[in-house]
Amino acid sequence: MKILANDGISQSGIDALTANGFDVITVNVAQEQLVEYINTNDIKALLVRSATTARKELIDACPGLQLIGRGGVGMDNIDVDYAKSKGLHVINTPASSSASVAELVFAHLYGGVRFLYDSNRSMPLEGETNFKGLKKAYAKGVELRGKTLGIIGFGRIGQEVAKIGLGVGMNVIAADTYMEEATVTVSLFNGQSIPVVIKTQTMETVLAESDFISLHVPAQKDYVIDASAFSKMKKGAAIVNAARGGVIDEVALVDALDKGQLSFAGMDTFENEPKPEIKLLMHDKISLTPHIGAATLEAQDRIGEELASQISSLLK
């Protein structure tokens, strides 16, 4: 049985699938050629990440397809309900990349409070001629310890962010429409752990009380953070979006940064991927990464192994 991992899969995932008798193909087929390739090569399972889409048209055109798998959490690039209505299995790996995304959030936060996003641009240009000037410009950093971290969306990834925040001494608050409280377990290096119960609060409370906000919500029809939401945040607060593109009104974000309502933003996902707006890319108060939240070696191994386990259970 042939599986096309069109956006790639870890070697550990390939090995696990191969050991269970599957033929794993890892060539990257262009979206417009995907239907023909699937049908010509009798592909039974299509594995994607964020680059490849599996919409109604592809599902209808590939009657031999039995499973669509997403290596990651969000499945907005797959017509999930329609695929299921046609009898296809649709799977994802919601737990595998949580820790990696959470660490990237803190990469943006630590880089933001110490101006690394800007100093890494300026030092190559001015470090030799204006060292003292740059030192003065970046000498007003702050610590994360003791500050309030607001998490909007308190699922698996939000709770992983909370663990790190608690570990570095932050006050962690959260908002979630579907959850009243969660027990977050902070694990220590020696095997000990500390459970912390966090009760969710209203969105308005989180916006008003947070020094830093991290978004962990799925893609949706409307913006989660718009101009009104920015106006409710503390002056000089900061925000990180390592969730999905389109959950922040990017025009309102730039305006909030320009007016000093926000001190900085961290962006890993964008409305117009893979061509983010130039105003975001060139802004001197935005820390930028190209949608790499789950892109660690460890996360990719976990994703591949989890996909392999689910596929073997469903199709073998």
| Environment class of 209 (CB within 10 Å of its CB; exposed 0-12, middle 13-18, buried 19+) | middle
Rg over CA atoms, the chain: 21
DSSP assigned state of 49: -
Asked if residue 109 lies in contact with residue 102, where contact means CB atoms within 8 angstroms, the answer is no
Q: Which residues pair with 171 in a beta bridge?
A: 148
- The C-alpha atoms of residue 3 and residue 42 are separated, in whole angstroms, by 9
Instruction: Choose, from 103, 126, 209, 273, the residue flagged as catalytic.
Output: 273
**121 is annotated as an active-site residue:** no
CB atoms closer than 10 angstroms to residue 217: 21
Instruction: Choose, from 49, 156, 283, 291, the residue flagged as catalytic.
Output: 291
Give residue for tokens 């990237």.
104
Q: Which residues pair with 151 in a beta bridge?
A: 174, 214
- The C-alpha atoms of residue 168 and residue 215 are separated, in whole angstroms, by 19
Least Cα distance to 206 among 237, 184, 246 occurs for 237
**291 is annotated as an active-site residue:** yes
Would you call 241 helix, strand, or coil by DSSP? strand
**108 is annotated as an active-site residue:** no
Bond preceding residue 274 cis, omega within 30 of 0:
yes
CB atoms closer than 10 angstroms to residue 223: 17
Question: Helix (H) and strand (E) counts for the chain?
Answer: 13, 13
Instruction: Choose, from 244, 250, 302, 306, the residue flagged as catalytic.
Output: 244
* Residues belonging to the active site: 244, 273, 291
